Amino acid sequence: MQRYFVKHRAKEDRFFIDENDRHHIVKVMRMEIGDQIICVDPDGRQALCKLAEITDERVVADVVQWKEEDSELPISVAIASGLPKGDKLEWIIQKGTELGAHQFIPFTAARSVVKWDDKKAAKKVERWQKIAKEAAEQSHRVRVPKISTPVRLKDLLEKSKEFDYKLVAFEDESRNGETSVFSAVLKQMQPGKSLLIVFGPEGGLAAEEVEQLKNNGFGLCGLGPRILRAETAPLYSLAAISYHFELLR
């Protein structure tokens, strides 16, 4: 059943759907009065709804039944990615949303080839947010991850103070056979806590960046014996987190 994140709720039992979602309902899905959808409000509450009105401006959906299901990870995970080339970050955001990430923080790393001005960055964030929304709908989540405007490393270090736990995936730790830091942090974490994981771009993080992260309370962790690509490592980490908190228990 189609799912939509809806900004406007007139009252407890009625949703107003406009803009792109209205177009999708009417033009793409070709739904009619009486068809059912799932609506999710800004607080993460979801309801089975029936289409009651279709106009040129909006679709009105009436609540049939509120649902109590929760598909979110029990911990809040933020993925900080050194800006990679091409559309790799779009891939990370789409698949990372499906795997449960709560936030994505792109940052300009020393080895990032991509350099953007503020205007281009704003357009990119708008596109990334749309990708996250569609992925959240497809994967039946009740929250759309937040996508931050690309930041510098020093800004990322300042933002990291908001998190309970902080890790940086560092390939040299994998080469050295380190296997315990990542799993140890997951074992320490309790539901409701937050975790920030930093990943480098192609070519990895520079030594001075790793040192700055380490000096700001980040633990260095390997992700198994194989060296993973910039777009693979975040997804590996999220899958491991899901296994630990959702399947293993």
What is the mean predicted confidence (pLDDT) over 19-35? 93
Ramachandran area for residue 133 (φ above 0: left; ψ -120 to 50: alpha; else beta):
alpha
- pLDDT above 70 coverage of the chain, percent: 96
Does residue 177 surpass a pLDDT of 60? Answer: no
Least confident of 78-82, 174-178, 222-226: 174-178
Predicted confidence (pLDDT) per residue in 72-103, tens digit: 999 999 999 999 998 999 999 999 999 999 99
Q: What's the confidence (pLDDT) of residue 174?
A: 55
Taking the C-alpha atoms of 126, 201, 186 and 125 in order, what is their torsion angle to the nearest 10 degrees?
A: -10
- Averaged pLDDT of the chain: 92
**Pairing between strand 46-54 and 36-40?**
antiparallel
Short-list 69, 7, 76, 10, CA closest to 39: 7
Tens-place pLDDT, residues 109-157: 999 987 777 778 889 999 999 999 999 999 999 999 999 999 999 999 9
**Residue spans per domain, the chain:** 3-67, 76-247
pLDDT at 50: 96
CATH of 76-247, one of 3.30.465.10, 3.40.50.300, 2.40.50.140, 3.40.1280.10: 3.40.1280.10
Question: Cβ distance 61 to 27 under 8 Å?
Answer: no
Residues forming beta bridges with residue 25, ordered by sequence position: none
Give the separation between CA 113 and CA 120, rounded to whole angstroms: 15
Nearest 5°: the CA angle 163, 137, 234 is 40
Right CATH for 3-67 from 3.40.50.1000, 2.60.40.420, 2.40.240.20, 3.40.605.10: 2.40.240.20
Lookup: tokens for 126: 């708008």
